[in-house]
Chains A and B, each alone.
Chain A
Amino acid sequence: MSHTTTPLHLVLAWGFVGIPLGWGVIQTVINALKLFQ
């Protein structure tokens, strides 16, 4: 069985954690923008 990491593996792994984190950061930025309103 091959254990070689392909670019698809990397995209999936980083997307798995990056998408939720990005969503959370956007929610927080929207909240933080209230400081400047």
Chain B
Amino acid sequence: MSSTTAQAAVGLLNRERTIAGIGFSRWMVPPAALCVHLCIGQAYAFSVFNLPMTRLIGITQSAPDDWKLTDLGWIFSIAIFVLGASAALLGRWVEEGGPRRAMFTAGLCWAGGFLLSAFGVYVHNIWLVYLGYGVIGGFGLGIGYISPVSTLIRWFPDRPGMATGMAIMGFGGGAFIASPLSVWLMRLFSTPTHIGVAETFIVLGLIYLCFMMVGAAIVRLPPPGWLPAGYVPPAQPQKLITTRNVFVYQALKTPQFWLIWLVLCLNVTAGIGVLGQASAMSQEMFPEQVTVTAAAGFVGLMSLFNMGGRFFWASVSDYIGRKSTYFVFFFLGGLLYSLVPQTGAMGNVTLFVLCFCVIMSMYGGGFATVPAYLRDMFGTRYVGAIHGLLLTAWSMAGIFGPVLVNYIRQYNVEHGVAKAAAYNVTMYVMAALLVIGFFCNLLIREVHERHHMPHEEADAMGIAD
């Protein structure tokens, strides 16, 4: 009897059981996607645990047996590495099993990672935290990130950029919730002799489990051949938008995949480097004008533009096209990066802030526009899996960006350049990266038809193009 119940429960996760019935509104799908992305977006706020976790034994200050910041930095790094690896390796499994199974699995991994990490904190064993948040949670991140992408694109063939932009905006917004919530929970569970990190992990894990299960429950796939009311697909093939499909691993054999990989990597490298250094950079470039508190406000403002840009630019790409959108990122981004040293020389904080707000919006926009770019190039069938493979560009940029910014600044300071001017070369290097990105984007053409899946094979898979 119990095995029958288990089979029925597993059956609910099947792709076939996720097909929407008549009367289902496609506007239920973005909240389902947001249920997942708002939760896994917590990863951006993990740093709020760093300092408390260095005082778990000493409480008021670090004791010799307490974890070091350098040990704790690995938790986030492992999670991001596993995100990229799992998205790349499990993309096909996610696509073929459907969004509900993927969201359900992502929820179990993400919440399970928190619970195991809570135990690791409780017994003070950092390896359990690496395994919990880093590896198991990292799988939740990777699977969860790509799980709603192709589903949204299928539901919104008329506005694919806006649809995926909404979900990926949620990933940016997840930190806005997690950061103050984590601080509040830690305060709630802390006593003069105890820091409430483990309890906070448990509560967060349970909250995220509920949210992600709700997302898995309400997500639906459109029936094959479904189209939104009033939407008529273009009769003539549009430039740079395919009506065919490319198999996930076949995409790796196309120059388009690697050019888009470079486009994403360069756009992210330029943004991620300054994002991590924004607070220090604003204070060092404007030592008389920007205080520590104001710098924190600057970081918050950049995060808002990072999130808003995801929705704005991805939506804009539906009207002007993906290639043109990336041209804007690279041209305007390069121009603004070149302008930043002048703002420092002029002492113009407002212009400096304005430059970085626009740059951050385009950094977020780059993430959010890329799924629709992949759909245009490779079709809908395996877009989520191909997106998973592309996320390795993010992992690479996560290493290059901060390293470039930190090392160039350090080199300048060691060679006698004033701190206020130490970032100038970095800004020009970032601008140069964006110029390279501009030319990579320029080289992108339609995928050659020899890479397309045969029609009958695609039809057999029940593709709703």
Query: Which residues between 2 and 21 of chain A lie within 8 Å of chain B, taking CB atoms?
Result: 2-5, 9-10, 13-14, 16-17, 20-21
Give the distance in Å from the alpha carbon of A25 to the alpha carbon of B177 in the complex.
Answer: 8
Given contacts A4-B24, A25-B173, A35-B298, contact A17 B303 (CB under 8 A): no
Closest residue of chain B to A10 (Cβ to Cβ) is B27
Contact A23 B21 (CB under 8 A): no
Tell whether B47 is near chain A: CB-to-CB under 8 Å: no
Chain B nearest CB from A10 CB (Å) reads: 6
Contact A35 B177 (CB under 8 A): no
Among candidates A13, A24, A31, residue contacting B173 with C-beta atoms closer than 8 Å: A24
Would you call the interface of chain B mostly helix, strand, loop, or mixed?
Answer: helix
Chain A nearest CB from B343 CB (Å) reads: 15
Given contacts A27-B176, A32-B301, contact A21 B25 (CB under 8 A): no
Given contacts A10-B28, A35-B301, contact A24 B177 (CB under 8 A): yes
Among candidates A9, A13, A25, A34, residue contacting B297 with C-beta atoms closer than 8 Å: A34
Most buried by A among B22, B177, B211, B218: B177
Query: Which of B30-38, B252-260, B334-342, B433-441 lies at the interface?
Result: B30-38
Give the distance in Å from the alpha carbon of A17 to the alpha carbon of B28 in the complex.
Answer: 11
Most buried by B among A3, A16, A33: A16
Given contacts A10-B25, A35-B294, A35-B298, contact A28 B31 (CB under 8 A): no
Question: For A9, what are the chain B residues with a Cβ–Cβ distance below 8 Å?
Answer: 25, 28
Instruction: For the complex, count residues of A whose C-beta is within 8 A of B.
Output: 25
Give the distance in Å from the alpha carbon of A14 to the alpha carbon of B218 in the complex.
Answer: 12
Closest residue of chain A to B353 (Cβ to Cβ) is A35
Contact A31 B296 (CB under 8 A): yes
Tell whether B309 is near chain A: CB-to-CB under 8 Å: no
Tell whether B425 is near chain A: CB-to-CB under 8 Å: no
Contact A29 B293 (CB under 8 A): no
Closest residue of chain B to A9 (Cβ to Cβ) is B28
Given contacts A20-B177, A21-B177, A24-B180, contact A34 B31 (CB under 8 A): no
Contact A3 B31 (CB under 8 A): no
Question: For B402, what are the chain A residues with a Cβ–Cβ distance below 8 Å?
Answer: none
Most buried by A among B22, B31, B294: B31
Tell whether B333 is near chain A: CB-to-CB under 8 Å: no
Give the distance in Å from the alpha carbon of A36 to the alpha carbon of B303 in the complex.
Answer: 16
Give the distance in Å from the alpha carbon of A31 to the alpha carbon of B298 in the complex.
Answer: 9
Contact B28 A37 (CB under 8 A): no
Contact B22 A13 (CB under 8 A): no
Question: For A24, what are the chain B residues with a Cβ–Cβ distance below 8 Å?
Answer: 173, 175-181
Contact B177 A16 (CB under 8 A): no
Among candidates B27, B176, B353, residue contacting A21 with C-beta atoms closer than 8 Å: B176
Contact B293 A3 (CB under 8 A): no
Chain A nearest CB from B341 CB (Å) reads: 21
Closest residue of chain B to A2 (Cβ to Cβ) is B23
Tell whether B300 is near chain A: CB-to-CB under 8 Å: yes
Given contacts A3-B21, A10-B28, contact A36 B297 (CB under 8 A): yes
Chosen A-B contacts, 30 in total, with CB atoms closer than 8 Å, are A3-B20, A3-B24, A5-B24, A13-B28, A14-B27, A14-B31, A16-B31, A20-B38, A21-B34, A21-B38, A21-B170, A21-B173, A24-B179, A24-B181, A25-B173, A25-B176, A25-B307, A27-B176, A28-B300, A28-B304, A29-B304, A31-B297, A32-B298, A32-B304, A34-B293, A34-B300, A35-B298, A35-B300, A37-B293, A37-B294
Beyond A9-B25, A35-B298, 19 additional pairs, beta carbon < 8 A: A3-B23, A4-B24, A5-B24, A5-B25, A13-B28, A13-B218, A16-B214, A17-B38, A20-B177, A21-B170, A21-B176, A24-B173, A24-B177, A25-B304, A27-B180, A28-B300, A32-B298, A37-B293, A37-B294
User: A residues touching B (Cβ–Cβ < 8 Å)?
Assistant: 2-5, 9-10, 13-14, 16-17, 20-21, 23-25, 27-29, 31-37
User: B residues touching A (Cβ–Cβ < 8 Å)?
Assistant: 20-25, 27-28, 31-32, 34-35, 38, 170, 173, 175-181, 211, 214, 218, 293-298, 300-301, 303-304, 307, 353
